Structure 1
Amino acid sequence: MSTPTRPAGEADGYYEYEDQSDAAHLHALGYESDFRRDMSPWANFSLGFTYLSPVVGVYTLFAFALATGGPPMIWSFVIVGLGQLMVALVFSEVVAQYPVAGGVYPWARRLWGRRYAWMTGWVYMVALLVTIASVVYGAGPYIAATFGFDASVNTTILCALGLLLLATLINLMGTRVLATAAMIGFTAEILGALVVGGWLLIAHREQSFGVLFDTFGTEGDGSYLPAFAAAALIGIYQYYGFEACGDVAEEVKDPGRLIPKAMRRTIYIGGAAATFVCLALVLAVTDIGAVISGEDADPVSTVLNEAFGSTGAKIVLLVVLLSFLSCAISLQAAASRLAYSYGRDDMIMGSSLLKKFSAKRHVPPYALIVAAVVPAVIVIGSKVSEDAITKIISFAALGIYLGFQMVVLAALRARLKGWVPSGKYTLGAWGLPVNIAALVYGVVAMINMAWPRTPDAAWYDNWIVALSGLVVVAVGLIYMAVHPLHDRSTAPYDDAIPKKDHVAR
């Protein structure tokens, strides 16, 4: 369904027609939407950017990556960025044809079927809820450093719950407020990244660019590849968030055209910002050897204090905290839209509540409550065992990648069975090779995430990432067998592939 050229001086009429066109497209897909299309193209991109959150990702994993692989770990941003761009291009074709709220679940439903879609959504939902918990919990030490108190278990839990509550309240205010929060978060984070990174490069650069090729002996007596693969987790954990642009497809005008653009911008701009922040930090570290040896366990704080002083470092930390908040808001928005999508299709226990809408705010309040309560329970669980929360969170990135690759696999299967993308964005002849490249990349990345790297630990700790993935899938399969609501769902499914009887008619 084409969008007309905007007539000069007829903005209101144009948008009215555009809304009708979007509603007609959604109706043809079998849905009526209660959402308001209040999210602008840049707000949609900002949602994906703040979910990706280059500052949060880099600051959280910088010490680990530098100590594990040395400065060359930065090249993982380029490799992973290219791989995830392939995934984003596949998603762009799917969302252009099926701009339905919920993202990976409704996409898998149309490309494959109800059972496959249920498992795709389940894996991704668990990963999102765990990721929300990990983000707000990870903000605790930064809140403590900013306001000058000890980051004990109790204070970290309280800070995490406070941040989670604030994110929930913002999300409950509706799409327009969510869009504004995403724009504010994006603006603060990108300016903070540019200002901090620029200052470090101009006034506090301690290393030459040649250091980016110096492993500092992290390979030991063997090949550098294992060390680089482990350090590359900083890149692998960085490049997701673009799918959030599609999770809110029913809140954006002309989603089939604009969301693919937002997804690609998230990769381009978010990836460039993350690489820039990481580069500035690497070149500003005075003693890289001390980081690798473990003598300097927190090089980010060391660099910020040296470059900005205690007062300046606190200002930078405030920007970091805003990044954590905006990241949590975006993650929660994505999780709630997925839960709502499940509920609307009557796919899971509690669907009658998950699909309810606030008439005033035009958001699904109960779906948002789920996206707050479950992460809160995980955070509180750290009081019982910090080791347990670490094990739970270890699944987060693998689960998101697995959810991605289930959609990529479904798209490849559908192509081979005759699906020809028909939305406003298509790759044409490049669709199949890009789809294959995206699947190969994703499988390699998941193997890298799950690969055991702690031979001295108990076997279950050594394989914790893979085991956590198996547990989540097993629980999902048991639920499907015990409570098979998915088989009774009457919403459209498995209609991307042309049917022979349709052709005969």
Structure 2
Amino acid sequence: MVASADSIVPNHPPNSALSTVNADSADLEGFGYQPVLHRKLGRYASFAAGFSFVSILTTIFQFFGFGYSFGGAAFFWTWPIVFAGQFLVALNFAELAARYPISGCIYQWSRRLAGELVGWFAGWMMIIAQIVTAAAAAIALQVVLPSIWSGFQMVGTDSALTSHDGAVNAVLLGSILLALTTLINVVGIDWMSRINSLGVTIEIIGVIAVIAVFFTHADRGPGVVMHTDQAAAGPYWGAFLVSGLMAAYVMVGFDSAGELSEETKNPRQVAPRTILTALAVSALGGGLILLGALMAAPSLTDGSLSSGGLAYVIEAKLDSPAGKVVLACVACAITVCTLAIQTAGSRLMFSMARDGRLPFSERLAAVHPRFGTPVLPSVVIGVLGIGLLVLNLGNAAIFATLASVCIVTLYLAYLLVTVPLLVRRIKGWPAEDRTSESGAPLFALGRYGIPINALAVVWGIAMAVNLAWPRPEVYTPAGGSWWMLWAAPLFVLVTIGAGAVVLRFVTPATPRESAGPLAQPA
């Protein structure tokens, strides 16, 4: 009889002489993998990985003006709607993180639920999404740094991202940041964790400060969120759907705690909690920022809120030194956001390479003996991210285009987990409740698993369609070719096609898991 994946959870007595790290290593060996990464991350560092990927200061600063320009003040309601949908996905991910605490979680979860082919495409699409997401996050420095000091505008004088000068300068700043985060990722998880945790702490302080400033300098009441008079022309439901892309761009990446499972202490207990906590805390803080900004904006009608976003409100409500301190917090958030995305992507690439599922797998799976990091995946993601920015040099629509194509790809990768999981649930997964190596029960949805999973699938499909829809106002706001308008679906097709080509030249994964984690119960 071959054991199932869920039946290989080691159950050590509570007073076991094994240390936590040794028990975690033994747990990983049960999946057929030798521990080679350094297990250094505690609960806060694990939370910080997910929180910094979501990075509400980074993404709300990037996209507030976008959301407001389409939906007016009532676009606020897209935030709780998207949170509710994404929390359904996060609940499923938390249950999987408790049962498969392995790096490269989207790939690992998908292949254990649906087999090698589906798992490979889930991992491939996630890698592509993370490379593009890292590039999109890095160029957010353009939204902040020139406002702190004009010297950061090294190209021309117009710092707006939608201008030629702003787009070129954004590529320059983003490339510098990607080079820095690559270096940090190479030198070890210790440095990455310290910098990321420090950055997240600064970001949380910045979030609290921004909320406090907005609510203590409000010009109108919370009823502003019912205003639709500044919405784009046409039926409001259409404008509302477009404005919802802002929240969809923000609330992703909460699965990063799962990506770092092999570097987290007691991951079966820690990762599920930090996945849910990172998303919930981000949603609460982001919702208060949105509400506060709408209440505190000097004007809702002069166009400044659409063009300047949160930076416009902060600069209007704070004197110059205090405002620049808050903007510096945002710059820190952008830095650790880019760092976290690159870290998660490198672990996913390492996990796939370890199974022989990528070109040059042997080199990509190599871990530096001193730093304990997969060096080459970090370098590859950094170089490809910079290359992507250079390819878009001078494109005034770079921001919306990069954001849309990477997020729709990421949502599709999530679907390649939630859809197979729903199929497995209908067939009886999980067969029974399990406990961790310490004897504590694993996170489980129980009888609510199927309805929550089914809603998560419906949500994911709806959002993927909404994100990829070829809207001129999103993809070609200043005019452009047909391929720019269809950038998202074309990007997905190219990604799948390129993946099919790559798959033909990689060695199939070997049945390394002696305990049979891919097998069904006999």
The answer on whether the counterparts of 1:103 and 1:246 sit within 8 Å (CA) in structure 2 is yes
CA contact (8 A) 2:188 2:373 kept: yes
The corresponding residue for 1:489 is 510
| Inter-partner Cα distance in structure 2 for 1:295 and 1:40 | 40
TM-score for both structures, normalised by structure 1: 0.91
Alignment correspondent of 1:286? 298
Does the alignment pair 1:242 with 2:254? yes
Q: What corresponds to 2:464 in structure 1?
A: 446
Structure 2 partner of 1:19: 21
Q: Does 1:478 align with 2:497?
A: no
Aligned residue for 1:121, secondary structure, equals helix
Instruction: Judge conservation of contact 2:32–2:514 (CA < 8 Å) in 1.
Output: no
Question: 2: distance between equivalents of 1:219 and 1:133?
Answer: 29
Higher alpha-carbon deviation: 393-402 or 58-67: 393-402
Partner residue in 1 for 2:67:
65
CA deviations 1:359-391 (Å, max 9, x no partner) are 111111111111211101112223365557864
CA distance in 2, matches of 1:251, 1:121: 19
CA spacing shift, 1:431–1:35, aligned 2, 3 Å: same
Q: Deviations over 1:147-191 (max 9, x none)?
A: 213343554333212211221222222222222122112111111
Distance 1:214 1:155, change over 3 A: closer
Counterparts in 2 of 1:231 and 1:440: CA distance versus 1, 3 Å: same
Q: Describe the SS at the equivalent of 2:430.
A: coil
Say which of 329, 332, 337 aligns to 1:319: 329
Match of 1:49 in 2: 51
Match of 1:185 in 2: 199
- Number of residue pairs aligned between Structure 1 and Structure 2: 488
Q: CA shift at 1:70, angstroms?
A: 0.9
Q: Does 1:140 align with 2:139?
A: no
Q: Which letter does structure 2 place at the counterpart of 1:446?
A: A
Identity of aligned residues (%): 26
Distance 1:351 1:498, change over 3 A: closer
- Structure 1 position 382 matched with structure 2 position 392: yes
Partner in structure 2 of residue 351 of structure 1:
361
1:184, 1:447 → 2: CA distance? 37
User: Judging changes above 3 Å, is the alpha-carbon distance between structure 1 residues 299 and 100 closer, same or farther for their aligned structure 2 residues?
Assistant: closer
Paired residue type of 1:286: P
- Contact 1:104/1:404 (<8 A) preserved: yes
Is 1:300 aligned to residue 310 of structure 2? yes
Q: Could you tell me how far apart the structure 2 residues matched to 1:60 and 1:463 are? A: 22
Residue by residue, what CA displacement relative to the aligned partner does 1:450-469 show, whole Å, maximum 9, x if unpaired?
A: 12322886543333222221
RMSD value, Cα: 2.3
Worse-matched range after superposition: 233-242 or 325-334: 233-242
Q: SS in structure 2 opposite 1:44? A: helix
> Residues 495 and 474 (structure 1 numbering): CA distance in 2 closer, same or farther, change over 3 Å?
farther
Structure 1 residue 162 corresponds to structure 2 residue 184: no
Contact 1:113–1:493 (CA under 8 A) maintained in structure 2: no
1:214 to 2:213 alignment: no
State the 1:498 CA deviation.
6.3
Contact 2:181 2:339 in 1 (8 A): yes
Distance, in Å, in 1 between the alignment partners of 2:85 and 2:73 is: 21
Structure 1 residue 340, shift from structure 2 partner: 0.4
1:338 and 2:360 correspond: no
**Partner residue, 1:171:** 185
Query: Structure 1 CA distance, aligned partners of 2:104 and 2:218?
Result: 44
Partners of 1:226 and 1:367 lie apart in 2 by 41
| C-alpha contact (below 8 Å) 2:57/2:330 kept by paired residues | yes
**2:52 touches 2:196 (CA, 8 Å); kept in 1?**
yes
Q: Are 2:434 and 1:416 aligned?
A: no
Q: CA deviation at 1:127?
A: 0.5
Q: Residue 413 of structure 2 is aligned with which of 385, 403, 406?
A: 403
Determine if contact 1:55/1:323 at 8 Å carries over to the other structure.
Answer: yes
Q: 1:415 to 1:49 in 2, by over 3 A?
A: same
Provide Cα deviations, 1:324-353, integer angstroms capped at 9, x if missing partner.
Answer: 001011001100000100111011111011
> Taking structure 2 as the reference length, what is the TM-score of the superposition?
0.88
Kindly provide the amino acid, as one letter, of the partner of residue 316 in structure 1: V
- 1:131 paired residue among 124, 130, 133: 133
* 2:162 paired residue number: none
- Following superposition, the deviation at residue 206 of structure 1 comes to 1.5
Given candidates 462, 474, 495, the residue that maps to 2:485 is 462
Cα distance change of structure 1 residues 317 and 493 upon mapping to structure 2, 3 Å threshold: farther
Structure 1: give runs of 5+ residues left out of the alignment.
Answer: 8-12
- Give 5+ residue unaligned stretches, structure 2: 1-9, 154-158, 160-164, 435-441, 474-478
3-state SS in 2 of match to 1:287: coil
Contact 1:110 1:495 in 2 (8 A): no
Distance 1:218 1:405, change over 3 A: same
Any conservation in 2 of the 1:110–1:493 contact (CA below 8 Å)? no
Match of residue 88 from structure 1: 90
1:264 to 233, 251, 276: 276
- Please name the residue that 1:39 is paired with: 41
Asked if the contact 2:404–2:467 (Cα under 8 Å) also holds between the matched residues in 1, the reply is no
Matched to 1:212, the amino acid is: V
Q: For residue 493 of structure 1, report the CA deviation from its aligned partner.
A: 11
Greater CA deviation, 301-310 or 206-215? 301-310
Q: 1:428 aligns with which of 440, 446, 470?
A: 446
Q: Return the letter of the residue paired with 1:199.
A: V
